[in-house]
Amino acid sequence: KAGVTQTPRYLIKTRGQQVTLSCSPISGHRSVSWYQQTPGQGLQFLFEYFSETQRNKGNFPGRFSGRQFSNSRSEMNVSTLELGDSALYLCASSLASGWEQYFGPGTRLTVT
Amino acid sequence: KQEVTQIPAALSVPEGENLVLNCSFTDSAIYNLQWFRQDPGKGLTSLLLIQSSQREQTSGRLNASLDKSSGRSTLYIAASQPGDSATYLCAVVPSGNTGKLIFGQGTTLQVKP
């Protein structure tokens, strides 16, 4: 069974731009969660989607948004990028909320 | 507010040693606890998941225990190998908010040949 895939793997953007990251979950998994990892803050929860509905949201500004499609694939969008948004963005999938989460390789975003 | 702490932040041991990584959490109302491994610049690999009703889980040389009432979990690694060198993260899923993992800052392990 293929694991969680994330595209692109690396991105360089300029302050003020916007970016869209994509996540394809493990086949059959309906829950997708997103996390931001930085050296200073560690791993922080962004949001969770289940059956195309956002079920949980972390403490991030409204510039961070996401969605989930009917095939469970998910995208997250960050608008008006700031230098502090530079991070590794990780996506995880699970069969349902609270079940074991499996992580993708991440997208490394650098904002200059 | 749930907080997860991992001690020590870094650990260096000679190959073959048995070792214990510690994880503590402030709120015992958890749904489950998961241990992960992260290699530099990579994603997370799930190692073990312990449900709140369980006391321990084992996988190969790894054994994780959970004492929910005291807010503690330990990851025991037997006969450590250089390939075990990585950052180990524990994360809890709060009861009533099961879509969210709350992570500790991790323990970076180096196993010297």
Block mean pLDDT (10 aa), chain A, length 112 = 92 98 96 95 95 93 97 97 97 89 96 98
CA distance B12 to B61: 18
Largest CA-CA distance found in chain B, in angstroms, rounded? 44
pLDDT at B97: 73
Interface of A with B in 33-62 (CB under 8 A): 33, 35, 42-45, 48, 50, 55-56, 58
pLDDT at B2: 93
Provide φ and ψ at A63, rounded to 5°.
Answer: -65, -20
Interface of A with B in 16-35 (CB under 8 A): 31, 33, 35
pLDDT at A30: 94
pLDDT at B105: 97
Provide φ and ψ at B31, rounded to 5°.
Answer: -90, -45
* Interface probe with B: pick from A5, A24, A38, A45, most Cβ of B within 10 Å: A45
CA nearest to A32, candidates A44, A41, A23: A23
Q: Prior bond to A25 cis, omega within 30?
A: no
pLDDT at A36: 98
CA angle (A62, A66, A72) in 5-degree steps: 165
pLDDT at B28: 93
pLDDT exceeds cutoff 80 at B104: yes
CA distance A48 to A97: 9
CA distance B47 to A100: 10
Q: What is the pLDDT of residues B22-57, one digit of tens each?
A: 999 999 999 999 999 999 988 999 999 999 999 999
User: Which residue, chain included where needed, has tokens 């005291």?
Assistant: B70
How far away is chain B from the Cα of A16, in angstroms, using its nearest Cα?
26
CB contact under 8 A, A33 and B102: no
Q: What is the pLDDT of residues B82-97, one digit of tens each?
A: 999 999 999 999 987 7
B21 touches chain A (CB under 8 A): no
pLDDT at A59: 94
CA distance B112 to B86: 12
How far away is chain B from the Cα of A18, in angstroms, using its nearest Cα?
23
B32 touches chain A (CB under 8 A): yes
pLDDT at B83: 96
User: Which residue, chain included where needed, has tokens 């992570």?
Assistant: B103
Helix (H, G, I), strand (E, B) or coil at A85: helix
CA distance A70 to A57: 20
Cα dihedral B51, B27, A35, A48 in deg (nearest 10)? 70
CA distance A105 to A42: 16
Q: How confident is the model at residue B81 (pLDDT cuts 50, 70, 90)?
A: very high
pLDDT at A99: 85
User: Which chain A residues are Cβ-neighbours of B36 within 8 angstroms?
Assistant: 103
Q: How confident is the model at residue B99 (pLDDT cuts 50, 70, 90)?
A: confident
Give the mean pLDDT of B4-32: 96
Helix (H, G, I), strand (E, B) or coil at B44: strand
Q: What does the block give as tokens for A12?
A: 């360089």
- For B49, nearest residue in chain A (alpha carbons): A100
Could you tell me if A58 and A52 are in contact, meaning their C-beta atoms sit under 8 angstroms apart?
Answer: no
- For A90, nearest residue in chain B (alpha carbons): B43
Residue type, position A94, single letter: S
